Amino acid sequence: MAISTEDIKKLRESTGAGILDCRKALESADGDLNKALDFLREKGLAKAAKRASRNASEGVVELYNHGNGRVGVMVEVNVETDFVGRSEAFRELAHEIALQIAASSPEYIREEDIPQEVLDKEAQIAAAKAREDGKPEAILPRIVEGTLEKFKNEVVLMRQPYIRNEDITIQQLINEKVVALGENIVVRRFARWALGETTSEEE
pLDDT (tens digit, 9 = 90+) per residue, 64-104? 997 778 899 999 999 988 898 899 999 999 999 999 999 99
**What average pLDDT is seen over the chain?**
85
The CATH class that applies to domain 115-154 reads mainly alpha
What local confidence, expressed as pLDDT, does residue 77 receive?
A: 94
Query: How many Å apart are CA 173 and CA 140, to the nearest integer?
Result: 34
Instruction: Decide whether 58-110+157-194 matches 115-154 in CATH topology.
Output: no
**Spans of all domains in the chain:** 5-51, 58-110+157-194, 115-154
Among residues 11, 30, 20, 60, which one has the least CA distance to residue 186?
60
pTM over cut 0.85:
no
| Fold of the CATH domain 58-110+157-194 | Tetrahydropterin Synthase; Chain A (3.30.479)
Reported as a pLDDT band with limits 50, 70 and 90, residue 59 is: confident
What local confidence, expressed as pLDDT, does residue 203 receive?
A: 39
For 5-51, CATH gives 1.10.8.10
